[in-house]
Amino acid sequence: MSEIVDLSILNAIYKIIEERSREQPEGSYVCALLNDPKGINKILEKVGEETTETIIAVKDGNKEEIIYETSDLLFHLLVMLFECGVTPDDISAELARRFK
């Protein structure tokens, strides 16, 4: 079995999302999602799109595409969680509670 990578990268990306939301840098994709007139619906559209693309990659059995699309999905899930006031630590705590 290969070495398992520390998933603290999710917390790091979440912090970048927080920073972009606060600082509003010009040209930021995160800001474009968070400030879209459709609100949370725009973010949910992206989550749905990335979910579909992940499913297709799995059905096609293409490991590289599965990794790529799952990474896109996780990113958009983090943006969604941020918009909802939920942190990766909240999710981690719930998972730890479930799998004790």
CB of 79 closer than 8 Å to CB of 87: no
Crossing angle for the helix pair 8-23 and 63-84, nearest 10 degrees? 50
Phi-psi region of 15 (alpha: psi -120 to 50; beta: other; left: phi over 0): alpha
- The residues spanned by each domain of the chain are 8-98
Mean pLDDT in consecutive groups of 10 residues from the start of the chain, 100 residues: 67 98 98 98 99 99 98 98 96 87
**What is the rounded distance in angstroms from the CA atom of residue 88 to the CA atom of residue 84?**
12
SS3 37: coil
Read off the pTM.
0.91
Give Cα 52 to chain centroid, integer Å. Answer: 14
Q: Which CATH superfamily is domain 8-98 in?
A: MazG-like (1.10.287.1080)
pLDDT value of position 100: 80
